[in-house]
A and B are shown apart, each in its own frame.
Chain A
Amino acid sequence: SQELEQSPQSLIVQEGKNLTINCTSSKTLYGLYWYKQKYGEGLIFLMMLQKGGEEKSHEKITAKLDEKKQQSSLHITASQPSHAGIYLCGAGGTQGGSEKLVFGKGTKLTVNP
């Protein structure tokens, strides 16, 4: 079965700093999803990537999927306290569908003012 490894497990940054979170898959990614979770709350969808080399941005968050479709990165520019939370990557099945989504264990981000 597909496994996703996220790094780092936790990250503490000063407000205004840039940061990157990585997600590496044991198999080719047919659909890669990034979610954000506030502690103990539900997950909020951020972005979905499907094509090798694809890059998407939303406000100050940019996600990329490498050409080989086995690794994705999430980059936050000029971090703010509102970016704090747990970031999870999820991968769909062989068809890229979301019905059988598996997740990485998450990266806990703390942004100090």
Chain B
Amino acid sequence: EAQVTQNPRYLITVTGKKLTVTCSQNMNHEYMSWYRQDPGLGLRQIYYSMNVEVTDKGDVPEGYKVSRKEKRNFPLILESPSPNQTSLYFCASSLRGSRGYTFGSGTRLTVV
């Protein structure tokens, strides 16, 4: 089944403890992206990648890192999480020139 898989679905962590949220797609999509969703602010793009080894900042990249070493994987790294990074995170992928992203099911992150 064609899909975008994020792990974990739920995560509670403490301030400053490094964490990685994984994202994998099996559709051979070139584009991948990370979004966070917050009440009243909607979906905001964190980082996106147009292909392997090509990444660029979205609208809210501060406090996040990404890497794209393989086409199928696009992990989101929080080196030193803070409570303001508590949010619902979505990974998405898209075929070049296609009709929009396929989204993962989301990762609900709580930083205490």
Contacts and interface: CB of A to CB of B under 8 A. Distances in A.
A98 B94 CA distance: 7
B73 interface: no
Nearest to B39: A105
Interface stretch (B11-19, B41-49, B74-82): B41-49
A102 B59 contact: yes
Contacts, number: 65
B interface SS class: strand
A97 B33 CA distance: 13
A78 to B, nearest CB: 26
Interface of A: 1, 31, 33, 35, 40-45, 48, 88, 90, 92, 97-106
Most A-side CB within 10 Å, residue of B40, B100, B105: B100
Contact of B40 (A33, A102, A105): A105
Given A100-B58, A105-B40, A45 B99 contact: yes
